[in-house]
Amino acid sequence: MSNLSLKDLNSRPVKLTSGHRLCAGCAESIIARQVLMSTDKPIVASSATGCFEVSTTIFPYSAWNVPWVHTAFGNGAATGAGVEAAYQALRKKGKITEEMRFVTFGGDGATYDIGFQALSGAVERGHQMMYVCFNNEAYMNTGIQRSGATGFGASTTTSPAGSVVQGKTEYPKDLTMILAAHDIPYAAQVSPHNWRDLVEKCGKGFECGGPAFINALSPCPRGWRFASEDGMVIAKLAVETCVWPLYEFENGKFRLTAESKRIAEGHVEKKPVIEWFKAQGRYKHLLSEDNAHIVEQVQAEIDRKWRKLIALSKLEY
């Protein structure tokens, strides 16, 4: 996969077409196209209810050029696992002979919160499927409510910044680490601005021989309050500030990748989290002097987790 060029990838059949109804600047279609490019085997896709589902399949139209299943908000992984189980049964009976791959897409609300039980169960049972989380850090499809993935201090419709509380008062769950703790063959964090890193990781996920989890940062212009043309700039900034490190967990070993690897090695400077806050309207309240202590608190937490990740990537076992 590392030798593939953009020309090679673009020569593959288009599995998700243009003409969908996602917002201008939304990263979800970019991520999905990169995911679907990462294998040349036939794919069956499923999607939990959310922005991506409602925008790509407004009846009677569909942007999908592969078999696709819609599932409810909370059972995306269960549906994907059921399709994979049916395929395995049909292969044993000789009714299907070709190699196929299975992917389920869900937003952070459907993954971190409502659908976590189904996801945990699916990976514990060992289904050979890949689950991809579009992590836009809130329930964007239903009105920008905070989720378990929303960053500390972010202003949402259910964690509004005001005179008493300055945005969300909890740190986001570290779901990639939680999935790695299931000891699955493959888990990784990706960002759509680095297509090569994303495609290579998804290629590994599809071919790992068991459950795989891809946590994809998905900047949302509407919910994060930035210009629609700046999505990839924002995505890259998340990596440069170590708000969203790029790494993989493969067969029990952690490994930093791409820009995150270069930051850890000292080749690229790690940017302060204040740059991340300045780039988005959902954090504008944190830029006042009165809230400088919150910025310092968040920076300290990012630094702590970054040191932990560097230590994990150096472990030999």
Binning pLDDT at 50, 70 and 90, where does residue 27 land?
very high
Q: How far is CA 154 from the centre of its chain?
A: 18
Check whether the bond before 60 is cis (ω within 30° of 0).
yes
Q: Are 259 and 240 in contact (CB under 8 A)?
A: yes
User: How far apart (Å, rounded) are the C-alpha atoms in residues 168 and 161?
Assistant: 8
191: closest CA among 159, 163, 231?
Answer: 231
pTM tops 0.75: yes
Tell me what the pLDDT averaged over the chain comes to.
Answer: 96
Task: Render pLDDT for 119-128 as a digit per residue (tens, 0 to 9).
Answer: 999 999 999 9
pLDDT confidence of residue 64: 96
Binning pLDDT at 50, 70 and 90, where does residue 10 land?
confident
Q: Are 156 and 145 in contact (CB under 8 A)?
A: yes
* CATH number listed for the domain at residues 6-314: 3.40.50.970
Average pLDDT over residues 289-295: 96
Binning pLDDT at 50, 70 and 90, where does residue 12 land?
confident
The residues, ordered by sequence, that sit 6+ positions from 3 with a Cβ below 8 Å of its Cβ are none
pLDDT confidence of residue 6: 79
pLDDT > 70 fraction of the chain, expressed in percent and rounded: 99
pLDDT confidence of residue 146: 98
Paired sense of beta strands 130-135 and 212-217, if any: parallel
What is the spatial order of strands in the sheet that 43-48 belongs to? Answer: 68-71, 43-48, 101-107, 130-135, 212-217, 186-190, 247-250, 253-256
* Helices of type H across 151-291: 175-180, 195-206, 221-224, 231-240, 258-264, 273-278
Task: Render pLDDT for 151-200 as a digit per residue (tens, 0 to 9).
Answer: 999 999 999 999 999 999 999 999 999 999 999 999 999 999 999 999 99
Strand extents, DSSP E, the chain: 43-48, 68-71, 101-107, 130-135, 186-190, 212-217, 247-250, 253-256
